[in-house]
Amino acid sequence: MRAGPAPERELGLRIVLATFPENEKGSLSFVMGHAVQKVEILREGDGDTEQRLARILAPQESPAYSPEELDRRKNALKAWLETNHIPVGEQGERGRTLSVAGVLSIEPPYGPEQCSSANEIILARVQGLLQGYLEQQPC
């Protein structure tokens, strides 16, 4: 990257840098838009790069949950959030997604890894709360 002014409309962007050293595992670096002054593409990715990215980004194997178990997990988490005075609702197809205060979503199977939000502070706090909640649950 080279220094230079970035247009204001780009300040909310996040840049993902993929690095694939030879004979080593690849890595991803996330750069917040406010820290980026200019982006210069040195070389476009090819099919090999696409396959390597897919391997990095592929979700890890997780236990399969029945629809009933997912409903139980969702309802228990929703009740716990409401008990702790955290505003939560259901959204999306068949109400499977939990929406926390309208700024964070939790997808099935309702763990910290399934949280998403543009607000990183809220994301980190809710993920921490959710981790603590899950640690208290019987296996």
Indicate left, alpha or beta for 86 from its phi (over 0: left) and psi (-120 to 50: alpha).
beta
Q: Interhelix angle for 120-136 vs 67-83, to 10°?
A: 110
Mean pLDDT lowest among 13-17, 59-63, 64-68, 77-81:
59-63
In the block, tokens 């609702």 appear at 89
Tell me the per-residue pLDDT of 114-130, one tens digit each, with 9 for 90 and over. Answer: 999 999 999 999 999 99
Q: What is the pLDDT of residue 2?
A: 43
Write out pLDDT tens, residues 25-63.
Answer: 777 788 887 787 888 888 887 888 777 777 766 655 557
Q: What is the residue extent of each domain of the chain?
A: 14-57, 67-136
Check pLDDT > 50 for residue 8. Answer: no
Whether the pLDDT of residue 1 is over 50: the answer is no
Give just the sign of the alpha carbon dihedral 76, 77, 81, 84. Answer: positive
**pLDDT at residue 10 above 70?**
no
Per-residue pLDDT of 96-115, as tens digits, reads 999 999 999 999 999 999 99
Of 67, 91, 68, which Cα lies nearest the Cα of 100?
91
- How far is Cα 50 from Cα 30, in angstroms, rounded to an integer? 17
pLDDT given at position 60: 55
- The pTM assigned to this predicted structure is 0.56
Query: What local confidence, expressed as pLDDT, does residue 62 receive?
Result: 55
- CA 113-88-116 angle, to 5 degrees, is 25
Note whether 49 and 35 are within 8 A (CB): no
Q: Is the dihedral of CA 46, 4, 119, 131 positive or negative?
A: positive
- Which contiguous run of DSSP H or E holds residue 98? strand 97-100
